[in-house]
Amino acid sequence: MFSNQNAHSSPYADSCLSHRRAKVSRAALLVAFGAIFACCLPSVNAQASFFNSWEGRVRTTVAEQPAWPVPVATPPSGLVQLARFDAIRQITSTHTETWIYGNSKGFDFIPWYKTEVDVTLPSYIEHNSNVRDGAGDWLMLVKYRFLAAGPKHGDYSFSGSLNGTVPTGSYKNGSSDDSVSPTLYGGKGFDRFDAQSSLAITLPTGHTSKSGRPIAWNAVAQYRATRLFWPEIEFNSTFYRGGPNDGRIQAFVTPGLMISKVKFSHESNSRLAFIFGGGMQIATSEFHSYNHAVIATGRISF
């Protein structure tokens, strides 16, 4: 009888075969990784080019306007790129507290030259009463800067925006209808002082007799006391047109302090910084939905 020597391979032959298979597998793996890297490289370069272009537009846009910090409550007359979170504690004359977390703030971007787009997060409202807690409305804003100059060329800015509100509020913590709000902003610097103001009207898409068309006017005066400390005083007013409060005026005065900017890096070209501050909002009109409020705000510019 003839023995079949191929029927059972020796341990040495098995080892050589395994070694060759391992080498082939490693080579195939390297080729696969190389192919994937070659395919992804244009995408990585494209992404790097995209972010570099974005960064260049942000730097150019910001460099052409005053370097005032965003006030505690009044919207700024210039353009900003930052992430923001506010917390507000409102107290009525009967000592009922309402907490507002977020205050419809979120992320402000400068995706195009002289243009800002804000993507906000709905507030969460805690009433501490029989009213149910819940989320507020969702808001998005597009803002364009018409004119601006830095301190050496007049120190001013003038912008306009259009924002839209979607009634995402739960348990009646928001509006019943969509709305749009055209807004104008202006600001002027005087050495260490600056004054900024905004004027907006809210136009609901339905149930106007219920919500009216309120006009909001805000103004702020800031003073650069040191490199970081900016004390300020704000005036926040709402003029009600139509609705249940037709003809009424609600006004507050808000002394506050902004600390801007605490940089994360010592590099001169780095825009990454922490900005924070707060203020006390005090009712000055006979009609007011709350007596006073404490506002705390934190931002990260990037």
CATH of the domain at 222: 2.40.160.40
> Quick check: 49 pLDDT over 90?
no
Same domain (yes/no): 82, 58: no
- Report for 126-135, 206-215, 218-227: range of highest mean pLDDT: 218-227
Same domain (yes/no): 73, 214: yes
**Poorest-pLDDT segment among 36-50, 162-176, 251-265:** 36-50
Same domain (yes/no): 180, 98: yes
Same domain (yes/no): 126, 44: no
Same domain (yes/no): 53, 90: no
Predicted confidence at residue 169, as pLDDT, reads: 86
Domain end call among 63, 84, 113: 63
Q: What is the pLDDT of residues 112-151, one digit of tens each?
A: 999 999 999 999 999 988 889 999 999 999 999 999 999 9
**Which tops the pLDDT comparison, 35 or 260?**
260
Same domain (yes/no): 27, 104: no
By the 8 A CB rule, do 280 and 254 touch? yes
Domain holding 15, by residue range, is 1-63
Residue 91 CB partners (closer than 8 Å, separation 6+): 97, 98, 290, 291, 292, 293
pLDDT band with cut points at 50, 70 and 90 for residue 31 = low
pTM of the model: 0.81
> Quick check: 3 pLDDT over 50?
no
Same domain (yes/no): 161, 59: no
Strand, helix or coil at 107?
strand
End-to-end CA distance of the chain: 84
By the 8 A CB rule, do 79 and 159 touch? yes
> Quick check: 13 pLDDT over 80?
no
Same domain (yes/no): 126, 265: yes
Same domain (yes/no): 168, 219: yes
pLDDT band with cut points at 50, 70 and 90 for residue 7 = very low
Beta pairing partners, 138: 166
Radius of gyration for the alpha carbons in the chain, expressed in angstroms and rounded: 29
Number of domains observed in the structure of the chain: 2
By the 8 A CB rule, do 79 and 143 touch? yes
Same domain (yes/no): 180, 224: yes
Domain end call among 13, 32, 63: 63
Same domain (yes/no): 3, 111: no
Instruction: State the average pLDDT over residues 208-229.
Output: 94
Same domain (yes/no): 38, 103: no
Structure tokens at 15: 């080892």
Q: Cα dihedral sign for 32, 33, 36, 42?
A: negative
Instruction: State the average pLDDT over residues 19-45.
Output: 57
